[in-house]
Amino acid sequence: MRLLQAIPVLAGLAAAQTVPTGVTVPEISFAGTGCTAATRVGAAVTNPTLIAVPQTVYTARSGVNGTRLVDTRLNCQVLVKVNHPAGWQMSVAKADYYGRVRLPQNSEAVSKTTYYYSGQTRNVSTQYYFDGPFDGAYFRNDRFLTTASNKLWGPCGSQTMLNVNSEVRVGPLGSGISREGYMDMYNLLHDRIIVDWRKC
C-alpha cells in the first residue's frame, strides 16, 4: 500500500519538460591510431536522448617478437558536436559496446573508453580487463546514472562538444611469454549513445 502511494509523485515529476527541442548534430569527427581520420555530418535527431554515432571497428592484435608478446594499443577518438537551445546541458547516460577477444595464457587485454567535454578538464572513464586464456564475445555496458557520483555534465550553453575516446590494448601479462592474441573494440551497439538533458 505504501509503495502505491508513491506513484502519483513520480508521475508528477515525469510531466516536467526533460529534453530540449531543436537538437542537431552538425558534425562528427574521428581520429586516432585505430580509425581513419574523417568528418561526417551527423544523422538527423528525432529523439534528443539518442545521439547516433556511426560505429568504428578496430582490432588491437599482439604479436610475438622472438619469444616475447608485443603490447599493442589502438584508439579512436570521436568528437560529436551537438547544437541545442541555450540553457540546457547534456551528459552521457548509456553506451553499450561489444567486441571479441582471443587471448592465450599469460596475456591480457584492456577495453577502455573515456568521455569528456571540450573546454572542461574532468573526464569519466570505464575500463574492462581480460586475462587469458579467454576466447569469446564481450559486452560492455557503460552506465552514468543521474544519481551516480561519476555523472559528468557538459557545459551550460548552446553547443556541446562530446569526446568519446575508446582504446584497446593487448599485451603480455607480467613478463609472460605466450602466443599471439587479439581484441576487437568500438563496436557501438545500435550505433548510438544515450544522453540525459537538464536545464541549467
Ligand X SMILES: *[C@@H]1O[C@H](CO)[C@@H](O)[C@H](O)[C@H]1NC(C)=O
Residues in contact with ligand X by CB under 6 A are 65, 70, 114, 116, 123, 165
CB of 173 to ligand X, least distance (A): 18
Residue whose CB is less far from ligand X, 45 or 53: 53
CB of 87 to ligand X, least distance (A): 27
Residue whose CB is less far from ligand X, 43 or 64: 64
d(CA 168, CA 186): 9
Geometric angle at alpha carbon 112, from 189 and 50, rounded to 5° = 35
CB of 15 to ligand X, least distance (A): 37
Query: How many Cα atoms occupy the beta-carbon half-sphere of 146 within 13 Å?
Result: 7
H-state helical runs in 101-184: none
d(CA 91, CA 96): 15
> Do residues 124 and 195 make contact, with C-beta atoms less than 8 angstroms apart?
no
CB of 66 to ligand X, least distance (A): 6
d(CA 169, CA 97): 16
Amino acid at 56: T
Residue 80 exposed, middle or buried by CB count within 10 Å (0-12, 13-18, 19+): buried
CB of 56 to ligand X, least distance (A): 17
Question: Which of 139, 126, 132, 53 has the alpha carbon at shortest distance from 96?
Answer: 139
Helix (H) or strand (E) holding 17: none
Residue whose CB is less far from ligand X, 43 or 110: 110
Residue whose CB is less far from ligand X, 123 or 146: 123
CB of 71 to ligand X, least distance (A): 9
Residue whose CB is less far from ligand X, 116 or 197: 116
Residue whose CB is less far from ligand X, 70 or 173: 70
